[in-house]
Structure 1
Amino acid sequence: MNVTIILASYDSGYYHGGCGQGPDALIAGGLTEALKLAGHDIDVHDIGRMSDEQEREIATGFAVCNAVSGEVRIACDRGRFPIVLAGNCLTSAGAVAGEGADAMIWADQHGDLNTPDTSTSGFLDGMALATVLGLCWRPIEARIPGFKAIDPARCVLVNARDLDTAEQQLLETLPVIRTECPDWAGAAQKLKDAGAERVHMHIDLDVHDPEALQANRYATPGGPAPEQVRQAMCGMAGPLTLVGLTISAYDPAFDAKGEVPPLVGQLLVDLLATLEKS
């Protein structure tokens, strides 16, 4: 399979800070080699550093989305499957735009469904899925080339276990499809029934049980094991049309033994094998 890996090495507006170190760490940990050994043609592009040296979180976060949208569009136009390695979950908005995706699988321990009106922390990445669904930041997200908000009825939220009160209340009013990993088949069918044709898959690595895989400082107890995440993601990818993938939120400072890159490699090898068969 022809694959383009796009590196977006930012965390909260900072280049190579925190989870912004994750993309390079995944590559250094053997991700490219694992995919090549599995028979895939791999091309790696780094969006590099944005020109704004002030590192303002909101402006820089959306500048990253703009750059990612362009790189993803180029990959798709060349018949290559785009995989974005990102520090922040917000970057998925750029990938969705570049792919022309109309549906979303969002695997994350958090809901990422706060808005500027509901957030008590002001953490931009806590608004990432809300942004993709068009619930906030509409003027600035409209400037991402090709961006169209995903209908909440065509969004699957997987294993979100750490939700703010405002997010819980919002989910009671939205038609978002919620599921746990073992129930992937029902979620995939609901997404098909909702009219999903071009699905983007977003995996925040803190969706995992931190006792099995700790990806960053935000991890809370519970969650699925790596093999459960692999089974669910591959299971949903089979009957659906997956047009791109984002892997986010890996901070190597919380992975002293370097256990995350091989597990991400195994996930991607299995996922791409599923796509080749479907």
Structure 2
Amino acid sequence: MKKLTIIGMPMDLGQMRRGVDMGPSAIRYAGVFERLSTLFSSIEDWGDISVGRPETIIDEQSNLRNLHLIAEKNQRLAEMVDKIIQSKSFPLVLGGDHSIAIGTLAGVSKHYKNLGVIWYDAHGDLNTAETSPSGNIHGMPLAASLGYGHELLTNLLGTSPKIKPEHVVIIGARSLDEGERKLIKELGIKVFTMHEIDRLGMTKVMEETIEYLKDHTDGVHLSLDLDGLDPNDAPGVGTPVPGGISYRESHLAMEMLAESGLITSAEFVEVNPILDERNKTASLAVALMGSLFGEKLL
């Protein structure tokens, strides 16, 4: 039993569909504090980082949406995550769109020389201003954390890159842009697409992921985008992609990560209650957190 600190980042500036800023509230409403309080000796909720309701601003030079504000808010998140880890607590970040991972990883990576990352997502999030079809920064956080992209996104807390490509595993990919595919091949990033999950089974995928990371990293961050799951199980997401990871497969993945003891920080992102069915997606996120933190049926 250890300490857990929850912090919300209600940001929807990284994409165009409103509502994901209510994700942290939806996850809290689904009972995250109560669910996890039995699994930790101490649990605190630091509330939400204030984002406000700004108008969309497209940066003229880079064509990126809300670049300066996203960088500013992620800097704040990075400082808070850093503070949580300094207090010897496990940071659990509630999103918000996936652009918040830029801040989370900046804060976490300060404390590890070889931070591993499990990117549980339908998308690679490896775009830059040059490769992005939309200019939406929620499609760029993994690239930025690897040191690729606009310097306002790559240089949070004054260091870049935050992580190394050989310490990243993407699980559940089924929608990759051309520039992302090119970068994956160029950097040799390990990816388990839905094809591999279907072919190998989730048990084998997680065994290989754990084996791949355990001897080469000194901590592992889980960045779980709810659109990694099938939209039938997680309908409340901004960019749903059919044919995703199932509810049961995801629980198995979280249970295996719990048994491995590898995970040292986590974030759950892209819950959009406006697009949801009776808070189904937020409830699923909370249930997966229970499995990740060692909840047992017997």
Name the SS of the counterpart of 2:282 in structure 1. Answer: helix
Q: How many residues align?
A: 272
Name the SS of the counterpart of 1:173 in structure 2. Answer: helix
Per-residue CA deviations over 1:84-122 (Å, capped at 9, x if unaligned) read 001121212222222224221100001111111111211
2:190 maps to amino acid = I
- Asked if 1:120 corresponds to 2:142, the answer is no
Range moving further from structure 2, 38-47 or 204-213: 38-47
Distance in 2 separating the partners of 1:28 and 1:214: 17
Distance in 2 separating the partners of 1:135 and 1:124: 12
Name the SS of the counterpart of 2:140 in structure 1. Answer: helix
Match of 2:91 in 1: 82
2:3 maps to amino acid = N
Per-residue CA deviations over 1:119-149 (Å, capped at 9, x if unaligned) read 1211111111111111112354313366642
Range moving further from structure 2, 78-87 or 88-97: 88-97
Asked if the contact 2:94–2:268 (Cα under 8 Å) also holds between the matched residues in 1, the reply is: yes
Per-residue CA deviations over 1:155-208 (Å, capped at 9, x if unaligned) read 000011011122222222222111234411112211235x11111110000100
Asked if the contact 1:65–1:144 (Cα under 8 Å) also holds between the matched residues in 2, the reply is: no
RMSD: 2.3
1:239 maps to amino acid = S
Range moving further from structure 2, 127-136 or 142-151: 142-151
Range moving further from structure 2, 81-90 or 146-155: 146-155
- Same amino acid, percent of matched pairs: 26
Q: 1:13 to 1:237 in 2, by over 3 A?
A: same
Match of 2:100 among 64, 70, 91: 91
Q: 1:236 to 1:176 in 2, by over 3 A?
A: farther
Match of 2:214 in 1: 192
1:24-43 paired onto structure 2 within 5 Å: 24-38=25-39, 40-43=41-44
1:31 maps to amino acid = V
- Asked if 1:266 corresponds to 2:275, the answer is no
Asked if the contact 1:93–1:147 (Cα under 8 Å) also holds between the matched residues in 2, the reply is: no
Match of 1:133 in 2: 146
Q: 1:217 to 1:99 in 2, by over 3 A?
A: closer
Distance in 2 separating the partners of 1:132 and 1:85: 18
- Asked if 1:59 corresponds to 2:68, the answer is yes
1:185 maps to amino acid = E
Q: How big is the shift at 1:238?
A: 3.5
In structure 1, the gaps of 5 or more residues are none
2:149 maps to amino acid = C
Name the SS of the counterpart of 2:117 in structure 1. Answer: strand
Per-residue CA deviations over 1:221-257 (Å, capped at 9, x if unaligned) read 1111122112213323543532210110000012122
Asked if the contact 1:208–1:224 (Cα under 8 Å) also holds between the matched residues in 2, the reply is: yes
Q: How big is the shift at 1:64?
A: 1.9
TM-score for the superposition, normalised by structure 2: 0.83
Q: 1:192 to 1:224 in 2, by over 3 A?
A: same
2:42 maps to amino acid = D
- Asked if 1:159 corresponds to 2:172, the answer is yes
Asked if the contact 2:74–2:100 (Cα under 8 Å) also holds between the matched residues in 1, the reply is: yes
Distance in 1 separating the partners of 2:153 and 2:178: 26
2:70 maps to amino acid = G
Asked if the contact 1:88–1:248 (Cα under 8 Å) also holds between the matched residues in 2, the reply is: yes
Name the SS of the counterpart of 1:230 in structure 2. Answer: helix
Asked if the contact 1:52–1:60 (Cα under 8 Å) also holds between the matched residues in 2, the reply is: no
Asked if the contact 1:62–1:141 (Cα under 8 Å) also holds between the matched residues in 2, the reply is: no
Name the SS of the counterpart of 1:110 in structure 2. Answer: coil
Asked if the contact 1:10–1:86 (Cα under 8 Å) also holds between the matched residues in 2, the reply is: yes
In structure 2, the gaps of 5 or more residues are 58-65
1:268 maps to amino acid = M
Distance in 2 separating the partners of 1:140 and 1:249: 19
Distance in 2 separating the partners of 1:13 and 1:156: 23
Distance in 2 separating the partners of 1:147 and 1:41: 33
Q: How big is the shift at 1:81?
A: 0.6
- Asked if 1:46 corresponds to 2:47, the answer is yes
1:208 maps to amino acid = L
Distance in 2 separating the partners of 1:66 and 1:7: 14
